[in-house]
Structure 1
Amino acid sequence: MSGWTTIWVLIAAVAAGSGTWFATPKGPNQVLIRSSTLLTLTCCYVMWAIVYLAQLHPMIKPTRSDVRFLDE
Protein backbone atom coordinates (compact mmCIF):
# COMPACT_ATOMS: atom_id res chain seq x y z
CA MET A 1 0.00 0.00 0.00
CA SER A 2 1.50 3.26 -1.06
CA GLY A 3 0.60 6.68 -2.37
CA TRP A 4 1.27 5.52 -5.94
CA THR A 5 -2.20 4.02 -6.04
CA THR A 6 -3.64 7.54 -6.11
CA ILE A 7 -1.51 8.35 -9.15
CA TRP A 8 -2.67 5.23 -11.01
CA VAL A 9 -6.32 5.94 -10.24
CA LEU A 10 -5.81 9.57 -11.36
CA ILE A 11 -4.43 8.31 -14.68
CA ALA A 12 -7.47 6.02 -15.05
CA ALA A 13 -9.83 8.91 -14.26
CA VAL A 14 -8.10 11.18 -16.78
CA ALA A 15 -8.30 8.41 -19.39
CA ALA A 16 -12.02 7.96 -18.70
CA GLY A 17 -12.54 11.72 -18.95
CA SER A 18 -10.63 11.87 -22.23
CA GLY A 19 -12.64 8.99 -23.60
CA THR A 20 -15.86 10.69 -22.60
CA TRP A 21 -14.73 13.98 -24.12
CA PHE A 22 -14.20 12.41 -27.55
CA ALA A 23 -17.08 9.89 -27.39
CA THR A 24 -19.80 12.41 -26.58
CA PRO A 25 -22.27 12.60 -29.46
CA LYS A 26 -22.71 15.89 -31.25
CA GLY A 27 -25.87 17.78 -30.46
CA PRO A 28 -27.39 20.57 -28.39
CA ASN A 29 -26.58 18.81 -25.09
CA GLN A 30 -22.94 18.00 -25.86
CA VAL A 31 -21.54 20.60 -23.49
CA LEU A 32 -23.91 19.54 -20.70
CA ILE A 33 -22.97 15.87 -21.07
CA ARG A 34 -19.23 16.63 -21.14
CA SER A 35 -19.42 18.98 -18.16
CA SER A 36 -21.54 16.61 -16.08
CA THR A 37 -19.33 13.62 -16.79
CA LEU A 38 -16.06 15.41 -16.11
CA LEU A 39 -17.42 17.01 -12.93
CA THR A 40 -18.67 13.62 -11.72
CA LEU A 41 -15.31 11.95 -12.41
CA THR A 42 -13.45 14.77 -10.67
CA CYS A 43 -15.64 14.74 -7.57
CA CYS A 44 -15.53 10.95 -7.27
CA TYR A 45 -11.75 10.89 -7.64
CA VAL A 46 -11.19 13.67 -5.08
CA MET A 47 -13.50 12.02 -2.54
CA TRP A 48 -11.86 8.63 -3.05
CA ALA A 49 -8.34 10.11 -2.79
CA ILE A 50 -9.13 11.96 0.44
CA VAL A 51 -10.59 8.85 2.08
CA TYR A 52 -7.79 6.60 0.82
CA LEU A 53 -4.99 8.91 1.92
CA ALA A 54 -6.64 9.56 5.29
CA GLN A 55 -6.59 5.82 5.95
CA LEU A 56 -3.08 5.43 4.57
CA HIS A 57 -1.58 8.13 6.80
CA PRO A 58 -3.88 8.86 9.77
CA MET A 59 -3.34 12.16 11.59
CA ILE A 60 -4.18 10.64 14.99
CA LYS A 61 -2.74 7.32 16.07
CA PRO A 62 -5.59 4.92 16.91
CA THR A 63 -5.64 3.60 20.48
CA ARG A 64 -7.50 0.65 21.93
CA SER A 65 -9.69 1.39 24.91
CA ASP A 66 -10.06 -2.24 26.01
CA VAL A 67 -6.37 -2.71 26.88
CA ARG A 68 -5.36 -2.53 30.55
CA PHE A 69 -2.09 -0.85 31.41
CA LEU A 70 0.34 -2.53 33.80
CA ASP A 71 0.80 0.70 35.79
CA GLU A 72 -2.60 0.48 37.44
Structure 2
Amino acid sequence: MEKFGVALIIFTLFWGLIGIVLPFLIPKGPNKRLIQIMLILTSACCWLFWLCFYLHQWKPLFGPQLKSTDARILRSLWGQEL
Protein backbone atom coordinates (compact mmCIF):
# COMPACT_ATOMS: atom_id res chain seq x y z
CA MET A 1 0.00 0.00 0.00
CA GLU A 2 1.34 3.41 -0.85
CA LYS A 3 2.02 6.20 1.64
CA PHE A 4 -1.23 8.01 0.84
CA GLY A 5 -3.36 5.00 1.74
CA VAL A 6 -1.51 4.36 4.98
CA ALA A 7 -1.76 7.99 6.09
CA LEU A 8 -5.44 8.12 5.18
CA ILE A 9 -6.22 4.99 7.18
CA ILE A 10 -4.20 6.06 10.23
CA PHE A 11 -5.69 9.55 10.46
CA THR A 12 -9.21 8.30 9.75
CA LEU A 13 -8.88 5.75 12.54
CA PHE A 14 -7.45 8.37 14.90
CA TRP A 15 -10.19 10.95 14.32
CA GLY A 16 -12.83 8.20 14.13
CA LEU A 17 -11.75 7.02 17.55
CA ILE A 18 -12.05 10.53 18.94
CA GLY A 19 -15.36 11.32 17.22
CA ILE A 20 -17.17 7.98 17.40
CA VAL A 21 -15.79 5.96 20.32
CA LEU A 22 -14.78 8.65 22.82
CA PRO A 23 -18.25 10.28 23.11
CA PHE A 24 -19.63 7.01 24.49
CA LEU A 25 -17.00 7.01 27.25
CA ILE A 26 -17.99 10.40 28.70
CA PRO A 27 -19.27 10.00 32.29
CA LYS A 28 -22.79 11.09 33.18
CA GLY A 29 -23.20 14.71 34.11
CA PRO A 30 -25.12 17.85 33.25
CA ASN A 31 -22.90 18.63 30.23
CA LYS A 32 -22.52 15.11 28.84
CA ARG A 33 -24.44 15.80 25.63
CA LEU A 34 -22.56 19.07 25.01
CA ILE A 35 -19.18 17.36 25.43
CA GLN A 36 -20.25 14.56 23.07
CA ILE A 37 -21.31 17.03 20.38
CA MET A 38 -18.07 18.99 20.83
CA LEU A 39 -15.99 15.83 20.37
CA ILE A 40 -17.92 14.76 17.28
CA LEU A 41 -17.76 18.19 15.61
CA THR A 42 -14.11 18.72 16.52
CA SER A 43 -13.05 15.38 15.13
CA ALA A 44 -15.06 15.86 11.92
CA CYS A 45 -13.63 19.35 11.33
CA CYS A 46 -10.05 18.33 12.13
CA TRP A 47 -10.25 15.27 9.89
CA LEU A 48 -11.71 17.29 7.03
CA PHE A 49 -9.07 20.01 7.45
CA TRP A 50 -6.31 17.41 7.46
CA LEU A 51 -7.76 15.68 4.39
CA CYS A 52 -8.00 18.91 2.39
CA PHE A 53 -4.49 19.96 3.43
CA TYR A 54 -3.03 16.53 2.59
CA LEU A 55 -4.79 16.23 -0.76
CA HIS A 56 -3.67 19.71 -1.75
CA GLN A 57 -0.04 18.72 -1.20
CA TRP A 58 -0.47 15.32 -2.83
CA LYS A 59 -2.03 16.53 -6.09
CA PRO A 60 -1.86 20.31 -6.38
CA LEU A 61 -4.43 21.87 -8.69
CA PHE A 62 -1.84 24.03 -10.42
CA GLY A 63 1.83 24.77 -10.16
CA PRO A 64 3.67 28.07 -10.25
CA GLN A 65 2.55 30.09 -13.24
CA LEU A 66 5.08 32.47 -14.73
CA LYS A 67 4.96 33.95 -18.22
CA SER A 68 8.02 33.42 -20.41
CA THR A 69 8.69 37.15 -20.66
CA ASP A 70 8.65 37.45 -16.87
CA ALA A 71 11.03 34.50 -16.61
CA ARG A 72 13.45 36.15 -19.06
CA ILE A 73 13.35 39.40 -17.09
CA LEU A 74 14.04 37.57 -13.83
CA ARG A 75 16.92 35.64 -15.38
CA SER A 76 18.52 38.80 -16.65
CA LEU A 77 18.05 40.56 -13.30
CA TRP A 78 19.55 37.61 -11.42
CA GLY A 79 22.54 37.42 -13.74
CA GLN A 80 21.67 34.32 -15.76
CA GLU A 81 21.59 35.54 -19.34
CA LEU A 82 20.17 33.17 -21.96
TM-score normalised to structure 1 length:
0.74
Unaligned runs of 5+ residues in structure 2 are 76-81
Q: Which runs of 5+ in 1 are unaligned?
A: none
In the TM superposition, structure 1's runs of 4+ consecutive aligned residues that sit over 4 Å from their partners are: 63-68
Cα contact 1:17–1:37 (8 A) shared by 2: yes
The equivalent of 2:79 in structure 1 is none
Between the aligned residues of both structures, percent identity stands at 30
The CA RMSD over aligned residues, in Å, is: 2.5
Which structure ranks higher in relative contact order (CA pairs < 8 Å, sequence separation ≥ 6)? 1
Q: Summarize the alignment of residues 1-72 of structure 1 with structure 2, pairs less than 5 Å apart.
A: 2-4=3-5, 5-62=7-64, 68=75
Looking at structure 1, the residues matched to 13 and 43 of structure 2 have their Cα atoms a distance apart, in angstroms, of: 12
